[in-house]
Structure 1
Amino acid sequence: MKNGNEIQLADYEVAEAQEIDLRDYWERLMRRRGTVIAVALGVFVLGAFWTFIQKPVYTAKAQLLIEKEPNILSFEQVLQIESMRDDFYQTQYRLLSGRGLADTVVERLKLFENPEFVGKPEKRKKPVDPSDHVFREGLVDSFLGRLTVRPVRLTRLVDVAFEARDPKLAADCVNELAAAFIDLNINMKYAATEQATTFLSEQIKGLQTEIEQKENQLQGFEAEANIVALSDNETTVIDRLSQLNKALTEAQIERSQKEATWNGLKNVSPDYVPEAIANPLIQRLREEYVRLKRETQKMEERFQPDYPELQRMKVEMESARKSLDDETQNLVKGAYSEYQTALNRERSLEAEFGGQKTEAFKMNSSAVLYNGLKVEIQNKKTLLDSLLRRESETGVEARLKGLRTSNIRVVDRARVPVRPSSPNKRRNLVLALLLGLGGGVGLAFLFDFLDNSVKTSEDVERYAGLPTLGVVPKFTLEGANKAYAYGRRLKAGKEPARLEPPKAAGAVVEAAPFVAEVGAAERPGSIELVPHYFPNSRLAESYRSIRTALLLSSADDPVKTVAVTSALPGEGKTVTVSNLAVTLAQSGKTVLVVDADLRRPRQHRIFKVKNTFGLTTYLTDSIELKSVVKSTEIPNLFLINAGPVPPNPAELLGSEKMSRFIRMMSEECDHVLFDLPPMLEISDALVLGAKVDGLVLVVHGDKTSREALKKAREKLDLLKVRTVGVVINNVDMPRHGAYYYKDYYHGYHKS
């Protein structure tokens, strides 16, 4: 078991590793902060432009209350708990957002003439035709696209919203939609009542016409037959005829009632059973079916379709529906059977009544006919009274439609909106900024992932297996310790203060016996010779760190002759040679810089000497070494420039005379630095690299590819060239998280 100290140490190491990972991500973002800022700014500007050119859109809102049928409910119905997810409410929501209702609103508000829906007249390609089916469907689609129907959770309320550029039009559309929805509900609710009322009205009208005709016929018969009274013998026949007529009248009334009942029930389905049906079995089956359907819907929201309990509930629901369907059909069939029975009884009584009339005619044709007409008139009047009572009952229910009694009410009418709902400028700008930042961060990480350049010492160790001697910051105003300001003052004729090595009174700096005399070089305004002109700068300190690392890299086997090269051109190996030579000379050592880049020499420009003769002259002609070694304005630092460009640089560098030159210079000087050409393009660096004590490879931060670094290491290993280490040049320190270096160094010198 681990003790407490070990556990705390492990936790600390994990926390430190996590902190390093987060810092690494932050440093990557800082390296690509330009990308992040550019993308964020671009997306923000585009979002702002899009937001401010958008026309304002207004949203009008209304709220509806949808209840069940507003009938007087029984005690059992009051106690019944209904789910808000019942099919009744889902049907209402579908109707509210249906195409039929939308088309009604389009017609009522004449939206086919509104410029917001059909455009301005001058921009239309053809005149508007409201009867065009395609045009009409497009209007309905446009209307529904602006409409939003959203039920309020755990209530019977529904929010209806409509968007339009005209605030008044938005409010009118919502209010008209609510009115049309209430009208649709009322029409659907009272459709059956209107059918029954129409049927009774037709029956009453026909019966009244028949009664009028019969009364006219009776009056005509009385005048024609001169009937005054009936005899005793005729009374029995008339009484019998009267009884049959009364029975026939009752049968007709019963048949009419049964027919009306059957007409009201023949369109009954399990999903629609009128409240007037007081059949306890059907009501119980209806309640059972609704309960099973509600439970099935709840289970479908929670379980998969193949869940056994769900399957069982579906089977029970279908069984309950079938039972309700069967019982409903039995009810319809029963009503039809009762109607047929009443009709057959009526016909039977009519036949018997006709026979009795024939017998009465035999006895007293005129009297019987008279009484028959009288009784028939009376019976028709009785039937008329029954139909009038039934019509009055249905008329009361039908008149409720005129009162617009509905189970749907408008709780909150839509008002003309004052402020636009979109575009939401603040939200859009925030979203654009967040989207831009997210896209910029993502793009920055993508670029960082695709970037295969060398950036840190870890990259050098990972891809080349070489130690890093040091990192040279990018030459900036702050990094050069006001070096750029020096350049500007230099043009104005002013000289900056600089540190120089102390000299004794009257002391004279003597050149080496083999050195040719040259004039003093002008002070540059760039990174060249920074350790000499700006010894307190961060750049000078970087080169001093490289000098220390170089000297300590091989304490047992000191490196006197060092070749400096790079994988590719433009990586700063020439400046590295000159500045490293300055730091070595400042330590009191005799340093010789040899410009061995015979193809594109540059050291003579840095030290401001002529390149008329130099190393190539010494290697090709029989001249003294003193004539090619030149002193510089920097104490203890000497230069051999390249000289004229030869036709065979590689042969000269690999010659025996060059080997003798290296041995001789290593004996005369403490350090000899060779500036070599890039090694991946030409072989000069490899030829000379095998002759010196060690080689320093310079890479350009954020520029030299990892593949180039690996290939350079492979070539060095192939020729068994001793590589001391790598210098990472031109590194943007803030981008690579080196704030501590800058703050510490300047703080140290300030104190």
Structure 2
Amino acid sequence: MNNLAVPSPHGTVPANYSDYPGAIYAPSGADGSEQVGLRDLVRVILRHKFIILSLIAAVTLGTLVWQVTSPNLYRSSVNVQVELIDDLGTNQADVLARNVQRIANEVKLYRSRSSAERVVSDLDLTSDPAFIREMGGEVLADDRTRINAATSQLLEMTRVQAEDGSDLIDLTVTSRSPRLSAEIANAFPEAVSQMKARKNERRREALIDELEAERSDRMDAARQSAEDLAEFRVNNRMLVGSGGAEDLAQLNRIFTEAASASALGAGSAAQSAGMARAASMRSTADATSAAVQNLQRQEAELSANVARLSQTYGPGYPELARVQSELSSVQSALAREQRQARAAAQQVAAAESARVRETARAQASGDAARAGQLQAVVSRLSADAYRNVQNSPLLSQLENEAVAAAAAVAEISERITRVRSEKMVQGVSSSIISPAVENREPVSPSPLKFTLIALIGSGILGVFLAFTIEMLDDRLRTVRQISKYFGLPTLGMLPMLENGISDKLRESPVFAEPQSLFAEVARSIYSETRALRPGSASQSILITSPLPGDGKSVVALTLAAAAVAMGKRAVVLDLDLRRSGILQRIQQDINAPELMDLVHGEVDVKSISGPTPATREFDDESDVGEFGKSGSRDIVDQTEADERLNRFALISASQPVEEPSAVLGSSRFQRLVNELKDRYDLVVVNAPATLAVRDARSMCDYTDDTLVVARWGHTTIDQMRATLELLGSGRIAGCVFDQVDYAEHARRRYGDSVQFYQESASYFSGEHPLRPSWKTRLARAFGLQRGYGRYAT
């Protein structure tokens, strides 16, 4: 019904399938490379049009009702310019790279809850009737709760934004009162400014307190460092400069003085000897005295008188003789006095020589003593200098610590002075350049505008939701999915029945309604299955599914019934031994033999009702029979029905088996399958669900082909993938969809043959699915219903 079959080395597969490694038949594009076209997108929209239209209707109507019932809102805006100020008060608004973050921070400050709370307090909005109406008219008793509620309401009414590359902030307030919106908008900049001023003042006070505490600590550290340094100098007798160049200069100076003192001592000794000798060599020839000088003056006068008298009177003159006599007396006295003067001068010279010699000797002794003392001082200072050099590292460390501590105190003091004296300059300030005014033109509601926006937005949202649902839906529904993800052919899609399959074999739609859609699909599935082995006299098929409840037992029963309806002999071998189902109920109805009796040899296969093994192959065109495609009669007489049912056999276990693996692994079981193939044209093995137990994996070895049943709209891609991995890809001949909602499938517009079934509904008799009601579609759209569809005759 769904695919055209052509011969293949591996059996008969759909014509649009190509050989795939591992005997899996993959269609073109099975690697997932097919592209999604515009038609597929339209199909997705149409597939979920009910959700899209419902969403559009709900959102649009809700928006319209909201707009119609909303009160008038008025909006006032204030333009605030952000001034970026450095420490000198210079406007830095042109330095965008530096100030972008500052402007953003200013915007955040305007949006902050603290700013809004300040506005509430400044304007006393909690007592303003217009603002109370904005809050819903409820007056809270608790002040803190009332302020918090007012702040939250104010933040909802306020919108703050700034354009990129601009220093302007646009603050807009929306309210039911134009007066209130303007007042609030104009109050925000002042509130923000006061809040920042208080914050800056608190920050400065805190900074000063912190600096004062730090300065106190550093002063203590500096005082301790100075005390440690002084104590170290006292203990080690190190004055300022000790252990450094000063010690060396002092030693050099004293060395120089000691050398000078030694030289002076030697010079003084030599000088004393020379002076003594010089004093001893002093002449006394010119020694004189007062008496000598007086006599010399008298001698000169008398000599002058003698010369004058001699020249005047000549020799013999008495006066001349007297004068000459006096002159002789004076000269005698003068010689005597000169001798006495020379003797006195010699005594004086000897005394002076002794004094000079003793003085020179004393000076030489003093210089020698001074040189010795200086040598002792040099020795002592050298020892102290070496000790100071040894203590210099620790002294240097203490001095550095003291200097650093003093510098730290000075730095902190300077910083405190600067913080106290400098003007508090804000890094960012803002001022109103365009105040808000009362705007009497309402900005909301706008029913037409918002309804149109809601219509367009909900449509876009609905389409997005449809595609999201489509992408997240991993449930299998189409032949294309099976071929795309798994490279397998789909042999048929069984429609679901309103009341399910009856427990009575005679009431099977394949027998009771041979012209129904269900019967036609069942015969098509058998034809596709039979085409897998075109030259074989008999065929064994394993039927399994990913999980229990997928309908594998119904598919196995339906496949065997379709074979019987087309004149074949078929047997259903139920190996789902862990649970009971429809096959067990039918077994009890037709009194079929027990599986365990056949396995244990208590019942022979030949005793099963049915004719001898077939000797001819069924012809699809000439031997369909009156229960096949001809459909010339709607009611079959009892004899023909019994003859048809005699070609059907069912082998099952009426009670669950405790150890199915022991039964399935016996050699008797494999012989049973071979014996059934000898007696029947089709052996259908109903295996357990693959993901529930591992029995189906071993059963694949006993059958010719394996079919996997997928429940339409229920089995997921992951479940099918896990099933194929367990069974082995080379063992699977194809897939069969069960419980297909044809009406829902057609509505989803997958583009396959099922989409057009309603146009060919006149070919079928009995009930066929109709389009579900809007309640059913709504329930399915939201995953609230996955039951059977609605049918009509």
Q: TM-score, structure 1 length as denominator?
A: 0.44
TM-score, length-scaled by structure 2: 0.42
With CA pairs under 8 Å and 6+ residues apart, which has the higher RCO, 1 or 2?
2
